[in-house]
Amino acid sequence: METRRIGSLEVSLVGLGCNNFGWRIDRDATARVVDAAVAAGINFFDTADIYGGGASEEFLGRALGERRRDVVVATKFGMKMDDRRRGASPAYVRQAAEDSLRRLGTDYIDLYWLHQPDPNTPIADTLGALDELVKAGKVREIGCSNFSAEQLREATAAARPGAARFVSVQNHYSLYHREPEQEVLPECARQGLAFIPYFPLENGLLTGKYRPGQPVPQGSRADAGFGPKVFTPENLAWADSLRKAAEGQGHTLLELAFSWLAAQPQVASVIAGATTLEQVRANAAAVAWRLRPAERDRFAPPSTSAR
């Protein structure tokens, strides 16, 4: 599989989102999914302390076992674990990192994300604590998630010379949700930041398994109540039109969703979760379609406004 760079890290163009671990699938199923991902050429695993209340990190660490040093593990901190464990104060940065290292069963984190901005902590203080972790060898690279272009600029300005600084940002981006194109992606290009999109399949809207006028498949994310605002008649009709366009060129809608993102120069890896081996394999193979810029620009969201 093609690889791209996140700072000093070399990651597979398709990554595995681990948000299902410890929540939708148990430890044994997690191990099978991780094994399938490694076999398919995926080396980038993205989790967070809040996923499964910490179980995702535990299950991932156990599933990787001796393969830990052969892969890139990213995890996040900052969202509320409980009333005490939240935010991005220096003391909590250190505590959260130690907690994640313990759950993952490792002595270093390849990419440590601040999961969301903390309005109560100056970003310079957070960066200072993260720099300490990098210098101690507990973290290799740092990134941020759910940051605006202005917040990215503030973080860059606040980083001390020679200290660790964000090398990547992870925000919501897909064929359907184009908001990052307005400011964040141009800012990434200016700063040389890698961009990692989350929700690339919009809770399944862009998988091709949902059809206008048909009931949602049992056991699907839509059936479980996820993304109800996405599954509107207008959006289903739009997604179905994309499916037909992709199939007209010998591809699936899922392949279009992944390849469309992969054609964006700032995108380093397309991350999607999986609960089955079939999903892992389909995701890993989805970026084989090389979309040219003119092809990429043909596809528009279901309204003229960016979402």
Which residues are annotated as catalytic?
51
**Residue 137 burial by CB count (10 A; 0-12/13-18/19+): exposed, middle or buried?**
exposed
Q: How far apart are CA 7 and CA 192, in angstroms?
A: 9
Tell the residue number behind the tokens 């499916």, with chain if given: 243
Which strand (E) or helix (H) includes residue 307? none
**Residue 8 burial by CB count (10 A; 0-12/13-18/19+): exposed, middle or buried?**
exposed
Q: How far apart are CA 11 and CA 74, in angstroms?
A: 11
Q: Say how many C-beta atoms besides its own lie within 10 A of residue 138's C-beta.
A: 19
Look up residue 38 and give its amino acid. V
Q: How far apart are CA 37 and CA 281, in angstroms?
A: 7
DSSP per position, 241-305: HHHHHHHTTT--HHHHHHHHHHTSTTB--EEEE-SSHHHHHHHHHGGGS---HHHHTT---SSSS
Look up residue 170 and give its amino acid. Q
Q: Name all contacts of 215-223 with Cβ < 8 Å and 24+ positions apart.
A: none
The answer to whether the CB of 37 falls within 8 A of the CB of 280 is yes
The answer to whether the CB of 184 falls within 8 A of the CB of 152 is yes
The answer to whether the CB of 63 falls within 8 A of the CB of 91 is no
